[in-house]
Amino acid sequence: MTAAGLASLQIIADLVEPASGCPCKDGRSRKADSETERRIDAALDWLARNFTATRNPGWPHKINFDEVYYWLYSMERVGIACGYKHFGGHNWYKEGAAFLVSRQLADGSWRQIDPAVRTPIEHWGGGGVPDTCFAILFLYKGRAPVVFNKLRFAGAWNPHRRDAANLTRYIEWAKEQPFHWQIVDLAAPLEELHDAPILYISAESVPQWTDADKDKLRAFTDTGGTILLEASCGNPAVREWAKTFAADLWPEWPLKPLGGDHPVFTDPYPLAKRPELMGISDGLRTILYYAMDDVSCPWHTRAFTSREYLFRWGINLFACATDRAPLRAKLAGREPPPDDRYRETPRPGPRTSLRIARLKTSGDWHVGANYRCFKQLGGHLRDTLGLALDVTEPARAPITDGGVEPANLKGFDAAYLTGTGGFSLGEAERKALASWLADGGFLWAEAAGGAEAFDQALRELAEAAGWRLELLPKDHPLMTGKMPPAAAYDLTSGVTFRRALRIGRAKNDHAELWGIFIDANDEKGTARQRMVGLYSPLDVAFSLSPYQAHDLRGYEPADAAAVATNIVLYLTARGAPAQGVRPEHPTRPGEEEPRISKPGLNLPKKSTGGDPVPW
């Protein structure tokens, strides 16, 4: 009954002591040391010492299986109410779910089992109906998606202990679906930090993190996570530390105030009143939100009437971190489900290895390199097709160090040009790039995130360089996948897009690729156009990942993989560059190619990710 009593005590504390620890004074919370909280902590310590998923540790009788179903149901109530994922090193939901699945009877029910004869006890504790109800409640309520992970560290990490709980409860109410929050620490594996899209750090003392801890926080954002950092009660020591912390972990990007037009203040709730926030954007996502002043006290005290804008801001934060994508249930994997549209294995051309350089420009040429999406693509092509894809780009922070200048492209098969804003190449750089393209090099240009500012800059570069940009028709080899001797994917229909494009392109379900053409003479001296590159105004590289970015104008992961693979296989069918030999491909847009069998994409099987939770 310890678990049942603790769950009830937590409900009582929420009702009779809603302001414990608040209000703030001189940058600190009021000391919370009530008898109720001491009793709650004592019960949590007991559960940590005694938890097991296979029996009720406090049940004295041996004739039955220890009232395990009511015990697990009570533990589910405690785990959800207190935000605990582990008790004494035990993942209570994972272990409890495994036990219940193993104990379900053939008719779908659960009943107490006599351990001596291993048969159900028909009427113990009311029989199979209450036991089955307790088991179903545990499995169903315990598997709800997690919105916030609250980080525990040595120091004042939890001065407002019901902040995340009450904000999560508000989101449940607003969206009419169950969500959870939970407590984690940096000793946990990186994947465990990704149980939730947002890692919430409420600091009222300066965290004493090791270099390994800081590396894990950087890895969290580089694998799609979002951090909310709060200086609890506006603590001055934390406010001073936060600036150094941000510059240390993310040296490539500045910590700066978020303007009123930032989506965290407008989507889905336009906020007339808003908290003062700073943030760090890596060009694709806002990876850190920093609240210099206290936001957790209003959450903790359930100030729904006087400070509701902070709760609505919490929903906006959730929307920005997930791009409104469904959250996965507990125990489900992060990867998207396998896609039956791309089943068959493609075929590369005669070249089995390619070298690609990330081209350095005056703009944010490095954007997206921190997500290692080309590494993911290269691993897939190596495992499925035996292709070696060598991409020269920054591999570790700071990712602004690196890149390949146009004058140093000799020996590379393709140059990858990307960014989200304006950029330029000097006259000498344009000449070096033109010379390399004339020798057979290939330019792969892409507007990261589908950024319109980069699109404009790329078109200005094309005009200055004398290139011609033409939309590739549906019968082009890059669109059909028919590029003998290579065979790739059909991108002419059935292509799906991220949320920002899903409705607008409902009737245009094909990839969008533009050819980059120059005037050149063939081997007979006849003037013709030659395609020396391609341009995607939609995001491909970041879209390869399962990560979310708010309003990203790109493809769904499986479709991005198909587009990227078509580009790579197209390169395998071209002649080698930098040898003075003109490539055999491509033909002018619209020129007929020999027909081959329709290819498909054989993506590795991934977890289905559990039942989706609709936005």
**Tens digit of pLDDT for each residue in 258-274?**
999 999 999 999 999 99
Is CATH 3.40.50.12140 the right assignment for the domain spanning 353-573? yes
Beta strands in 360-474 (DSSP E): 388-392, 414-419, 442-447, 468-471
Split at pLDDT 50, 70, 90, the class of 117 is very low
Q: Whole-angstrom Cα distance, residue 560 to residue 478? A: 13
Two tokens, residue 534: 């391609």
Averaged pLDDT, 56-67: 64
Gyration radius of the chain's alpha carbons: 28
Instruction: Quote the pLDDT of residue 603.
Output: 36
Instruction: Quote the pLDDT of residue 197.
Output: 98
Residue 490 has pLDDT above 70, yes or no: yes
Split at pLDDT 50, 70, 90, the class of 54 is confident
**Tens digit of pLDDT for each residue in 453-482?**
999 999 999 999 999 999 999 999 999 999
Share of the chain above pLDDT 90, in %: 73
In this predicted structure, which of 25-34, 124-133, 242-251, 403-412 has the lowest mean pLDDT? Answer: 124-133
Q: Whole-angstrom Cα distance, residue 528 to residue 526? A: 6
Two tokens, residue 103: 């104990």
Residue 580 has pLDDT above 50, yes or no: no
Split at pLDDT 50, 70, 90, the class of 551 is very high
Two tokens, residue 340: 């039956």
Residue bearing tokens 């009222």: 204
Residue 588 has pLDDT above 60, yes or no: no
Instruction: Quote the pLDDT of residue 602.
Output: 34
As to burial, measured by CB atoms within 10 angstroms (0-12 exposed, 13-18 middle, 19+ buried), residue 19 is: middle
Split at pLDDT 50, 70, 90, the class of 610 is very low
- SS3 for 310-337 is HHHHHHHHHHHHHCCCCCCCCCCCCCCC
Pairing of strands 277-281, 286-291: antiparallel
Of 4 and 255, the structure prediction assigns the larger pLDDT to 255
Q: Whole-angstrom Cα distance, residue 498 to residue 322? A: 12
Split at pLDDT 50, 70, 90, the class of 331 is confident
Query: What is the pTM assigned to this prediction?
Result: 0.89
Residue 121 has pLDDT above 70, yes or no: no
Share of the chain above pLDDT 70, in %: 88
Q: How far is CA 528 from CA 94, 399, 521, 524, in A?
A: 64, 40, 6, 11
Amino acid at 205: S
Averaged pLDDT, 285-298: 97
Averaged pLDDT, 108-125: 64
Is CATH 3.40.50.12140 the right assignment for the domain spanning 145-332? yes
Averaged pLDDT, 95-117: 84
Q: Where in the chain is the domain with CATH 3.40.50.12140?
A: 145-332, 353-573
Provide the 10 A C-beta neighbour count for residue 590.
11
- Mean per-residue pLDDT over the chain, rounded: 88
Split at pLDDT 50, 70, 90, the class of 114 is low
φ, ψ dihedrals at 183, nearest 5°: -100, 135
Q: Which of 141, 134, 137 is nearest to 112 (CA)?
A: 134
Provide the 10 A C-beta neighbour count for residue 257.
12
Residue 565 has pLDDT above 70, yes or no: yes
Instruction: Quote the pLDDT of residue 258.
Output: 98
φ, ψ dihedrals at 109, nearest 5°: -95, 175
Two tokens, residue 278: 């700073």
Q: Number of H helices and number of E strands within the chain?
A: 17, 20
Secondary element (H or E) of residue 289: strand 286-291
Residue 592 has pLDDT above 90, yes or no: no
Q: How far is CA 421 from CA 67, 451, 455, 471, in A?
A: 63, 7, 8, 22
Split at pLDDT 50, 70, 90, the class of 82 is very high
Q: Which of 347, 323, 321, 326 is nearest to 337 (CA)?
A: 326
Q: How far is CA 368 from CA 35, 162, 476, 558, in A?
A: 51, 36, 28, 18
